[in-house]
């Protein structure tokens, strides 16, 4: 047999493994060093108690003949789909039906698997810098073309720079499928209503599909930042929304997320006939997926109880408190900083035009702080680093003191 050659064309993903290797080496050579991890891309607080209780009960359900659950619906249990439709959409005045919601084992799977429902020759647009899954999954599916100077010839790259506040703007070129992430990883910035309206208008004019990754919507606090793309008029005809319980409720190790495919949303077949994407996604899921775990879905459902909501917002507030502190201290010290208000991520420009990796090395050796080099998320991230609010308050405070001391700021 022959392999899928796209895997060989795909460069190794060096970013997180290189950060980890450099950290390991530094700690071996300097066992006395107290390194503070400001690069953590995972939640650190435990699962909210409401979900823990619900999952204990769900495990007991599995122990009795009358309450045992075997294969569940591939689309997810109605109890969770209804809780989401009510708790994440109806309660905010947004029209999303339970039968448009597909439960999964996480957003990353859905973002990668959605490529099954659009054509292999689709022109894909991605933000630079951006979450690497959008690019790599589409390259594996054969949509990359040739890799020239680190860029795939068939992609439309949406450069994010200080000029646009690191928020991608609609391109002049045509794109069939556009991946948007708000609040964004790695930059921490989020679209305002009018910025998102411009994207919906572009997608309507170009008959494009927007795949809207709102894994961080629980971190939104600003009034002018939409939680869902469906808050924008006309978005139901052009957008799929992907969400996750990972960063919201700490489910990174439990695995649960969901994807919304509105009933009106269509693509064109070879004969130019309109085909509902919900039908295709349903077919894809029923063929290749057998549903998320009953126990985990019960845990996710409990996040929508009064108790669950309160516990989720306590955890999110803790991370947001760290992120705000980083943003404020770094800004006060004169750094150019993005994100950190509706997001756990803070995107920081090198003070002296230094590139991302040299700055990473210097922070590690001079201040014992680890960060994520921005260039690892795309060329436009060169000269930036990503800091995160996932460490403890105490460590975050100490990290800020060290950085400010290191740069002799105040």
Ligand X SMILES: *Cc1c(COP(=O)(O)O)cnc(C)c1O
Crossing angle between the packed helical segments 356-367 and 15-29, to the nearest 10 degrees: 30
Q: Is the CB of 127 or the CB of 400 nearer to ligand X?
A: 127
Q: Which stretch in 106-114, 262-270, 347-355, 388-396 sits in contact with ligand X by CB under 6 A?
A: 106-114
Q: Is 260 in the site for ligand X (CB under 6 A)?
A: no
Q: Is the CB of 367 or the CB of 371 nearer to ligand X?
A: 371
Q: Quick check: 407 and 369 in contact, CB under 8 A?
A: no
- How would you class 259 by CB atoms within 10 Å of its CB: exposed for 0-12, middle for 13-18, buried for 19 or more? buried
Nearest of 233, 282, 238 to residue 259 by alpha carbon: 282
Sequence-distant (6+) residues with CB within 8 A of 163 are: none
Q: Is 257 in the site for ligand X (CB under 6 A)?
A: yes
Q: Is 385 in the site for ligand X (CB under 6 A)?
A: no
Q: Does the CA dihedral 44-50-51-53 come out positive or negative?
A: positive
Of 75, 182, 185, 372, the one binding ligand X (CB under 6 A) is 185
Sequence-distant (6+) residues with CB within 8 A of 34 are: 368
Q: Does the CA dihedral 41-44-47-49 come out positive or negative?
A: negative
Q: Is 181 in the site for ligand X (CB under 6 A)?
A: yes
Q: Which stretch in 100-108, 157-165, 300-308, 353-361 sits in contact with ligand X by CB under 6 A?
A: 100-108
Distance CA 94, CA 239 (A): 14
Q: Is 246 in the site for ligand X (CB under 6 A)?
A: yes
Q: Is the CB of 191 or the CB of 407 nearer to ligand X?
A: 191
Distance CA 155, CA 166 (A): 19
Q: Which stretch in 239-247, 298-306, 350-358, 366-374 sits in contact with ligand X by CB under 6 A?
A: 239-247
Least CB distance from residue 377 to ligand X, whole Å?
A: 11
Least CB distance from residue 243 to ligand X, whole Å?
A: 8
Q: Is 343 in the site for ligand X (CB under 6 A)?
A: no
Q: Is 244 in the site for ligand X (CB under 6 A)?
A: yes
Name the residues that contact ligand X, by CB under 6 A.
106-108, 131, 181, 185, 213, 215, 244, 246-247, 252, 257
């Amino acid at each position: 047999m022959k392999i899928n050659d796209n895997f060989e064309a795909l460069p190794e993903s060096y970013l997180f493994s290189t950060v980890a290797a450099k950290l390991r080496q530094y700690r071996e050579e300097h066992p006395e060093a107290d390194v503070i991890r400001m690069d953590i891309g995972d939640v650190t607080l435990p699962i909210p108690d409401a979900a823990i209780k619900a999952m204990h009960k769900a495990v007991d359900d599995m122990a009795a003949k009358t309450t045992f659950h075997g294969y569940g619906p591939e689309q997810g249990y109605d109890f969770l789909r209804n809780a989401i439709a009510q708790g994440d959409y109806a309660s905010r005045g947004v029209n999303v039906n339970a039968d448009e919601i597909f439960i999964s084992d996480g957003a990353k799977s859905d973002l990668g698997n959605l490529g099954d429902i659009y054509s292999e020759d689709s022109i894909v647009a991605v933000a630079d810098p951006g979450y690497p899954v959008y690019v790599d999954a589409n390259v594996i599916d054969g949509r990359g073309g040739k890799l020239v100077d680190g860029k795939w010839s068939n992609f439309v790259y949406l450069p994010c720079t200080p000029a646009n506040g690191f928020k991608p703007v609609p391109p002049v070129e045509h794109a069939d499928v556009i991946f948007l992430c708000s609040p964004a990883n790695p930059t921490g910035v989020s679209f305002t209503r009018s910025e998102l309206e411009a994207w919906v208008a572009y997608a309507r004019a170009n008959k494009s599909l927007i795949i809207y990754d709102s894994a961080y919507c629980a971190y939104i606090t600003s009034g002018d930042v939409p939680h869902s793309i469906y808050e924008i008029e006309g978005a139901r005809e052009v957008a799929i929304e992907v969400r996750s319980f990972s960063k919201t409720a700490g489910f990174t190790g439990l695995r649960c997320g969901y994807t919304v495919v509105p009933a009106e949303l269509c693509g064109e077949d070879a004969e130019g006939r309109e085909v509902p994407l919900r039908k295709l996604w349903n077919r894809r899921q029923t063929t290749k997926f057998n549903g998320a775990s009953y126990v985990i879905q019960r845990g996710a459902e409990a996040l929508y109880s009064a108790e669950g909501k309160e516990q989720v917002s306590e955890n999110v507030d803790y991370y947001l408190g760290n992120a705000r502190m980083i943003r404020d201290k770094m800004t006060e010290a004169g750094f150019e900083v993005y994100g950190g208000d509706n997001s756990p991520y803070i995107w920081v420009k090198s003070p002296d035009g230094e590139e991302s990796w040299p700055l990473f090395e210097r922070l590690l050796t001079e201040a014992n702080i680890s960060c994520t080099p921005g260039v690892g998320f795309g060329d436009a991230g060169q000269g930036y680093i990503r800091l995160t609010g996932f460490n403890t308050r105490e460590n975050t405070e100490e990290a800020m003191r060290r950085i400010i001391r290191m740069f002799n700021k105040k």
